[in-house]
């Protein structure tokens, strides 16, 4: 079969065969071997060159052999070559799977009714369709037995398992992808390592204006419930990232701090809430009420301290 196939089929088939074997035998973890081990790309190029070289050599041999043939043999050989290459096996399967009648044979299957000149052929159902139909029946029986007779696990159980797994995956992803936070996804970080990292960043960059205890100086007091630019992790993150109002002195830090670092220092800044600074600056701005928090009247006696104090300050205003 190979000698009858043209080179443009032979080369790709052999190439992908080698490629497939290579991927199968080289253990390269999640990524394909040709990505994990770039040296294999070199190997594949070599294989390709080799295949092309073999083709060229075969062609040359064919030419030489052709010259040695007698005149009639040459003609026969050329005539043989003229016949276009056909994928006989593929054609046979196609014919078997469709069982269509050729136009010349249609007379055999034409039905004898005639509606205003429109007539109907009695074609058989195409075998590819019939086999698929049988396959669905077998599948249906299997499914029935699996889920309605045995029934030890259901779709909703599968769903719950997948959701649980996805939650674990998200947690794992968040751990590795902390640097992807932005103002929309940022959340208060509570890990001691994050907070101490935040503290370091604060001490290096921010104390000059906000003081080490957050009491404020050039910058506003960060320990009280009043915020000029809004409290809560998202606003604070945004202020740090984008800076304060023009000309006030609070620059945008997104150039010099990574997203994770801004989340860390923002979380650290929020730790100042409710502490007392040695030399606090007078409150500036508004008391910030978290719009996501439960409303004041809904606050039950055991509600978290922070919301309770917010509502009392509001009441006093
Ligand atoms: C050059 C002085 C200066 C430095 C350094 C500085 N800030 Fe500020 N910061 C300010 C000023 C001034 C404001 C008020 C901005 C305004 O009024 O728009 C401010 C506002 C803020 C606010 C908002 C406060 C509010 O009431 O809304 C936060 C949060 C903040 N700074 C955090 C930081 C952090 C974190 C750093 C270090 C990465 C830092 N700042 C560095 C001067 C500074």
Confidence at residue 295, expressed as pLDDT on a 0 to 100 scale: 61
Confidence at residue 177, expressed as pLDDT on a 0 to 100 scale: 75
CA of residue 190 to ligand 1 center, whole Å: 22
Q: Which of 210, 224, 270 to mutate to test the pocket of ligand 1 (most atoms within 8 A of CB)?
A: 210
Is the minimum distance from the CB of 262 to ligand 1 under 6 angstroms?
no
CA of residue 128 to ligand 1 center, whole Å: 72
pTM for this predicted structure: 0.51
Confidence at residue 102, expressed as pLDDT on a 0 to 100 scale: 86
Tens of pLDDT along 16-26?
Answer: 999 999 999 98
Q: Which of 223, 239, 243, 253 to mutate to test the pocket of ligand 1 (most atoms within 8 A of CB)?
A: 239
Record the tokens describing residue 231, joined without a space. 């409290």
Is the minimum distance from the CB of 273 to ligand 1 under 6 angstroms?
no
Record the tokens describing residue 76, joined without a space. 């026969």
CA gap 51, 12 in Å, rounded? 9
Mind listing the pLDDT tens digit of every residue in the chain (317 residues)?
345 678 888 899 999 999 999 999 988 888 888 888 888 999 999 999 999 999 999 999 988 999 999 999 988 888 877 776 777 888 889 999 998 888 888 888 899 889 999 999 999 999 999 999 999 999 999 999 998 898 888 888 999 999 999 999 988 887 777 778 888 888 899 999 999 999 999 999 999 999 999 999 999 999 999 999 999 999 999 999 999 999 899 999 999 999 999 999 999 999 999 899 898 999 999 998 888 776 655 545 554 555 444 444 444 44
**Ligand 1 atom nearest residue 253's Cα:** 38
């Amino acid at each position: 079969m190979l000698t009858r196939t043209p080179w443009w089929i032979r080369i790709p088939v052999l190439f992908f065969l080698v490629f497939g074997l290579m991927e199968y035998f080289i253990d390269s973890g999640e990524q394909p071997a040709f990505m994990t081990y770039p040296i294999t790309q070199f190997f594949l190029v070599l294989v390709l060159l080799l295949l092309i070289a073999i083709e060229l050599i075969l062609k040359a041999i064919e030419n030489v052999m052709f010259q040695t043939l007698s005149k009639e043999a040459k003609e026969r050989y050329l005539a043989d070559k003229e016949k276009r290459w056909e994928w006989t096996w593929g054609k046979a399967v196609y014919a078997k799977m469709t069982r269509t009648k050729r136009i010349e044979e249609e007379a055999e299957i034409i039905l004898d009714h005639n509606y205003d000149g429109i007539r109907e052929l009695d074609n058989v159902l195409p075998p590819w369709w019939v086999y698929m139909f049988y396959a669905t029946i077998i599948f249906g029986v299997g499914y029935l037995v699996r889920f309605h007779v045995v029934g030890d696990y259901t779709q909703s159980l599968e769903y719950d398992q997948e959701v649980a797994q996805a939650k674990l995956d998200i947690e794992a992803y968040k751990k590795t992808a902390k640097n992807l936070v932005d103002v929309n996804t940022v959340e208060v970080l509570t890990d001691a390592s994050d907070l101490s990292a935040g503290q370091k960043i604060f001490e290096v960059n921010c104390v000059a204006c906000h003081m080490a205890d957050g009491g404020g100086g050039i910058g506003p007091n960060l320990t009280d419930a009043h915020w000029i630019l809004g409290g809560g992790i998202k606003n604070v993150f945004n202020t740090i990232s984008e800076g304060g109002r023009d000309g006030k002195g609070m620059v945008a830090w997104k150039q010099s701090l990574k997203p994770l670092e801004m989340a860390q220092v923002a979380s650290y800044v929020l730790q100042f809430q409710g502490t007392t600074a040695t030399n606090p600056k007078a409150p500036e701005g508004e008391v910030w009420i978290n719009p996501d928090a439960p409303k004041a009247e809904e606050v039950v006696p055991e509600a978290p301290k922070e919301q309770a104090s917010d509502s009392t300050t509001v009441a006093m205003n």
